[in-house]
Amino acid sequence: MKERKKNSNKAVKVKQKFSWNLMWKQRYLLMMSIPFVIWLIIFKYIPLWGWTMGFQEVKPKSFAQPIWEREFVGFENFKRAFTDRLFGQTMVNTICLSIIGLALGTLLAILFALMLNEICFSRFKKVTQTVSYLPHFVSWVVIASIAKMLLNDGGTIDTLLGKNLHLMSTNSALFWVVVCLVEAWKECGWNAIVYLSAMAGIDQGLYEAAKVDGANRLQRIWHITLPGIKPTIVVLLIMGVGSALNVGMERQMLLSNSIVQDHAMVLSWFAYIRGIGNNDYGLGTAIGIFQSVVGVLLMLIANKVSGWLGESKLL
């Protein structure tokens, strides 16, 4: 027993020395991370104190009062949010937009990355990559204006086809597809960066061996490239599932109109209307808490399911 304790104590000391030595070797990397950690604490963790408003009755006049003096209403704000006449349709819109957007965005980004990876002319490849990144940095106001000029009734596409497709004025699920296609085009080049980085890490010897065995390009993509980036795809999908309810309201506000309002309303827009629009900040905060908690639970569930299936895990 004494020998086991001595051995365990030695092992602990070796681990401690190793960790301190590793931290000293990586001291410059740790110092570089300090500004980010400070930013994370200030803008991500300290604002969580504001979640207390979700359990209080907060009106504009209440801001002059300390937090502990405001009226505590428990889960009343959550009840009002869940029983609101807009909540049901808003949840459906948010979930459907998330699923369609995640599927389209992932598929198009992978296809685009595969095409770029197969380009032999390096100069053309670099120019194409650079051009594809640009829409990511363009404001949604500009993107929405371009989309409306192309897709509105009597727009460029309707003029070229000689038909009225009503792509932006249909109060149906088609509006979800149109919005997700616009976002997928905007973010396709940017999202492909991660997949291109993963492809760059694949052993080139595998491709040479496949060529010797007579595999064509499509076979090499299917049996080498896609399995090589599979862990990256799984991790990004898990993160995407975690943000399923955090659909931004900017694109909805800019691309929608009064005709498609029923299929455009999402949770973030609902929280804005009910919280800031009606000066009911407790209700708006409650909706935000619901989004965050459900997002974390979805990410943990997706991570667990991925582990059960034998795939890569985020945690």
User: Is residue 56 a part of any domain in this protein?
Assistant: no
Residue 1: pLDDT over 60: no
User: Is residue 154 a part of any domain in this protein?
Assistant: yes
Domain span holding position 252: 78-308
In sequence order, which residues have a C-beta less than 8 Å from that of residue 169 and are 6 or more positions away?
152, 153, 257, 259, 260
User: Which pLDDT score is estimated for 10?
Assistant: 55
- The number of residues in the chain equals 315
Q: Do residues 249 and 259 lie in contact, with contact meaning Cβ atoms separated by under 8 Å?
A: no
Q: CA-to-CA distance for 181 and 18, rounded, in angstroms?
A: 50
Residue 110: pLDDT over 90: yes
User: Which pLDDT score is estimated for 313?
Assistant: 63
Average pLDDT, integer, range 168-181: 85
User: Is residue 182 a part of any domain in this protein?
Assistant: yes
| Out of 4-13, 37-46, 147-156, 224-233, least confident range | 4-13
Whole-number average pLDDT of the chain:
85
Residue 116: pLDDT over 80: yes
User: Is residue 269 a part of any domain in this protein?
Assistant: yes
- State the DSSP string of 123-181: HHHHHHHHHHHGGGGS-HHHHHHHHHHHHSTTSHHHHHHTS---SSS--STHHHHHHHH
User: Is residue 286 a part of any domain in this protein?
Assistant: yes
Pick from 186, 151, 179, 182: nearest CA to 265: 179
Residue 308: pLDDT over 90: no
Average pLDDT, integer, range 233-242: 88
Q: CA-to-CA distance for 196 and 126, rounded, in angstroms?
A: 12
Average pLDDT, integer, range 223-246: 89
User: Is residue 277 a part of any domain in this protein?
Assistant: yes
User: Is residue 301 a part of any domain in this protein?
Assistant: yes
Q: Do residues 221 and 199 lie in contact, with contact meaning Cβ atoms separated by under 8 Å?
A: no
Helices vs. strands in the chain: H and E counts, helices first: 15, 0
User: Is residue 41 a part of any domain in this protein?
Assistant: no
Q: Do residues 155 and 146 lie in contact, with contact meaning Cβ atoms separated by under 8 Å?
A: no
Average pLDDT, integer, range 70-90: 90
Residue 173: pLDDT over 60: yes
Residue 200, domain CATH: 1.10.3720.10
pTM over the 0.75 mark:
yes
User: Which pLDDT score is estimated for 185?
Assistant: 92
User: Which pLDDT score is estimated for 8?
Assistant: 55
Residue 194: pLDDT over 90: yes
The tens digit of pLDDT for each residue in 249-261 reads: 888 888 888 888 8
User: Which pLDDT score is estimated for 75?
Assistant: 92
Q: CA-to-CA distance for 61 and 306, rounded, in angstroms?
A: 48
End-to-end CA distance of the chain: 36
- As beta bridge partners, residue 56 has 72
Q: What is the DSSP code (8-state) at residue 249?
A: S
Under the banding of pLDDT at 50, 70 and 90, the label for residue 235 is confident
- As beta bridge partners, residue 211 has none
- As beta bridge partners, residue 72 has 56
Q: Domain tally for the chain?
A: 1
Residue 165: pLDDT over 80: no
